[in-house]
Structure formats: C-alpha cells, structure tokens
Amino acid sequence: MTTATAKSDLDRALALLAEDRAEEAAVLSAKVAGAPGASHQSLAAHSQILKVLGRHDEALTFDRLAVDRFPRSPVSWHNLAATLGDLGRGEESKAALERGLSIGLDGPQSWSVYARALMAVGDHDQAEKAYIEARRRAPADVRLASEYANYVWMRRGDLNLAQAAMDTAFHAGAPPGEPLLTKAKLFEAAGQPEKAAQLLMAGAARIPQDLGLVLAAAHAAVEMGLLADAERLAKSAEVLAPKKPSVLNQLAIVYLASGRPALALDKARRGLEIAPSDQSLLGWAATAARLTGDPLYGQLYDYDRLVATYDIEAPEGWPSVEAYLADLAAALKRIHVYEQHPAHQSLRGGAQTLQNLIGSSEPTIKAFFAAIDAPIRKHIEKVGHGADPHRSRNTGAYKVEGAWSVLLRPGGFHKDHFHPQGWLSSAFYVETPEAALDREDREGWLRFGQPPIRTQPPTTADHYVRPKPGRLVLFPSYMWHGTVPFTTQESRMTMAFDAVPA
C-alpha cells in the first residue's frame, strides 16, 4: 500500500466516522492499520474507531503495537493509557501514562487520563491534583470541568466547590449550555431539584437554540409537575429537531405525564423507527403501551422469560459462597471511599465506585466475573430468539461493557431508571438489609415497571425480586427498575454490570 493510498483510505475512514458510519470506517481503517509499516496515525485512528464501536480489547492490540513501533512517541503512550483505563486496568494505565509524561506528555487530556488512573488505584489526593493540572491547561473544557465537579462532589460532598468548577469553565469561555446542565445535575444530586429546574428553565429561555438544554428543562418541568411548561419546551425542541429520537422520547414523557398515553406511544414508536435499540425509547414505549392496553407491553415486559434470578456457586478457591461473599465485601469496602453518590446516576443515599471493575486485578472481583459466566449464558439461552427488540439482538454470546459496585446506607435507594448503554443489565447482592427485607412494604427489594415520573393515570411497580446474598438478577436494560427505600440501620451492597451481544 502506497503512502498516498494509505492517507486517502485513512481520510475516508475518518470521514465515515464523522458521518456515524463507524462499521464501514473500521473496515477501511483496518486495511490501513494492518498494512506492513503502518504509520502511527493509522494505528491511532483504527484504535479510535474500534473504541467508538465498543471494541476496546481489539483497540488495545493496536495501541500496544503503536508503543512497540514508536516507543518515543508520547501520544502512543497516551492512547495506550486511555484504552487501558477504559478497560478498568488502572495500574497498567497509570504506568503507561507515567511513561508518556516522562517523555513529554503534558496535555490536558493526558492529565485527565492520569487522574482517572490514580483514582482507580486509590490514590485520590494525587488524582485530584492531576485533575487540577488538566483543568489548568484547559480551563474552558466542559468535559474536564464536569468530570472534576462530579469527582469532588462524590469525594467531599462539597456542592460549592463542584459548582465553582463549572463557573470557572464558563468564565474561561465554555459555551453556557453544558455548564448549566452539569450544575443542574449537581443541585438535583444534593437534594435541591427546585433549583435544578429553575436553572434549566431559565437557561432554556435564554438559549432557546440549545437542544440539550431545552430537553433537560422540559424533563425537569415534568418532574416538578409544571406540565404546561414541559409541553411548551418539548414542542420547541420538536421545532429544532423534529426527527431526533431524544426529542420524540421527551415528547412521549410529557404526554405520559399529562394523561395522553396513546399520543406518547405514537411518539415513542416514531423514535424507535429511527433508533430501534434505544433503551430509553423502549422503556417509555412500554409504559405507554401498558397504559393503553397495547400488546407491546407484554412483549417488552415478559417477566417470566426476560427476568430471572440465579444463585451463584462458590468460585474456585473458596470453600463456600458465604466465604467468598465475605471476602468480596471486604474488597469492595476498600474502594467505597466516596461520601456522596454520583451526580449523574440514579443512586441516592449511598456511594458508587467510579472505576470500571471489569479490569480489576483484585482476586475476589476477578472471581466474580468467572462466577457469573454460567448464569449469564444460561439466561441468554432461556431468553431465546424472537422478533421483539430484546430477543432480536440475542447472538447467543455476550460481552460485559461496564461494571461497578453500590453501597446503600440506611434510607438509601435507587430511583427508578434504565441503563442506556446496555442490552442485558443486572444486580448482584453482596450484602442485604435482612431486617428490612421481611417488612410488609418490601423495603430494600428490587422493583420493576414503575417509571421515574408521575404518569396519568399512575403507573406502579408490577414485579418485585427479593434480594439475597449471592443472588444475581438479570433483566433487559430498558426495563424500569429501582429499589424500595429501607429504613433499618443496615447497609445494602451490590455489584452490577451491563452486557451487550457479542
């Protein structure tokens, strides 16, 4: 392959990626990256495209090849560290980034990769310093500011410091929409939803062309019961982007809240014609179908076939499940160091790990993924194949995309939610609040079917699962699920993951 041909093919691959045609881009970039003597740029571009497709393990191969061929390239070490971090391999990511820093890496994105790696290995003082270095180099970078704001909120519970990070980004020149969105999430996480709604609605009034801000304001208005404002905002979003799935999704939400489920179902179905695997649209379509008596609800919420519990067997090296869970709980408690829940998650009254646990070198966590393999494969076989949105994606194989742990304190719970990036989602119980579970109102139980807004008529949970240490619950990612709050002086620790077809 000539240099000119390689450059032409690579340029075309990147153009395809920009057009959201990543699969085609990967085919073309693979030819360039796989050619003898492939350039540094070719290897990096192919890795980037693979990561867009969620194929991080394959991307890692090309990142390693790049550092082997170009060991004095700081960028090659940055790319390797970033991919290792995505895979949850914190120690290796830290080492790769430090190698890059030693030969000249000094950009804001490299410092943020370093911060995440330090956080993953538990060096939180140095992680915060690395975030500060990253932000010093790019004060207007909204993604960096949001990441840092969420981190200091979780670590310290300091709302003012977290909000100040977003103000700094705005005053440094960041467009106002994203800082406002993050500030609103922080207010909501801190138990101040009224302030969040006021901020979003004021922002949408001042920047009516910012689609993300308008949609967020519409949703906040729904949650505050301001349905006329919610509809006005959702319709203004429809003017901006009438065929965008997120707009059709928000219109469905507004119509469900205002007692027009048939109209909501129509909007959700239009969205699914464009994005048939969109987990949010599937969740809201199911709710609308339930309220209208449409058979779609029975297809999407076939609890008997699509939701199941599995009690794991003791992993190799442990004499019993109880002994394994005791060791797993101890290992997880060592990394549950945060004071507050994430600002962008459903958790309330507890803490969540930030690092991806898939690549953990901790023996008990590695054993977890071995222990759940057989139940997952059994469940996939049970689910089977069909024309509905969940079964139609079943390839018979799976890949875990992300994994984390949650520690709920007394009074803690998960708001009803879905998992936007998954196909198959989970809850695995490490410790449970035993005194709470036997109460009549099912405190601490996992519930299904209740959406996170008040619909007209009301929609309540219609399926429950009782937690048990060592129990794995598997279900479609679009299913509304949450935790009944518990009031006993106990804790509830889980691991969770999302899987996609492989």
Summarised one tens digit per residue, pLDDT across range 134-147 is 999 999 999 999 99
**Is a pLDDT exceeding 80 seen at residue 216?**
yes
Give pLDDT tens digits for 342-388. 888 888 888 899 899 999 999 999 999 999 999 999 999 999 999 99
Let me know: does 88 contact 359? Beta carbons within 8 Å.
yes
* Residue 246 backbone dihedrals phi, psi, to 5 degrees: -65, -30
- Kindly list the strands in the beta sheet with 492-501, ordered across the sheet, starting from the edge strand earlier in the chain: 308-311, 471-476, 424-431, 492-501, 398-414, 347-352
Tokens of 156: 């310290």
How far apart CA 178 and CA 448 sit, in angstroms, is 32
* Average pLDDT of span 13-30: 94
Top-confidence residue, 446 or 350: 446
How far apart are the two ends of the chain, measured CA to CA in Å? 32
What is each CA distance from 56 to 60, 79, 84, 237, 366, in whole angstroms? 6, 12, 9, 34, 18
Find which of 353-357, 453-457, 484-488 is predicted with most confidence, using mean pLDDT. 453-457
**Is a pLDDT exceeding 80 seen at residue 493?**
yes
User: Is the pTM of the predicted complex or chain greater than 0.85?
Assistant: yes
Residue for token digits 């509809």?
231
pLDDT computed for residue 303 by the predictor: 97
pLDDT band at 1; cut points 50, 70, 90:
low
How far apart CA 96 and CA 91 sit, in angstroms, is 9
pLDDT band at 115; cut points 50, 70, 90:
very high
**Is a pLDDT exceeding 70 seen at residue 305?**
yes
Tokens of 63: 């990142």
How far apart CA 71 and CA 83 sit, in angstroms, is 17
pLDDT computed for residue 443 by the predictor: 94
Tokens of 40: 């540094």
- Kindly list the strands in the beta sheet with 481-483, ordered across the sheet, starting from the edge strand earlier in the chain: 463-465, 446-448, 481-483
How far apart CA 37 and CA 34 sit, in angstroms, is 9
Residue % of the chain over a pLDDT of 90? 92
pLDDT band at 15; cut points 50, 70, 90:
very high
Measuring CA to CA, which residue among 81, 113, 123 is closest to residue 99? 81
Least confident range of 197-201, 409-413, 419-423: 409-413
Domains located in the chain, CATH noted = 305-501 (2.60.120.620)
Let me know: does 121 contact 362? Beta carbons within 8 Å.
no
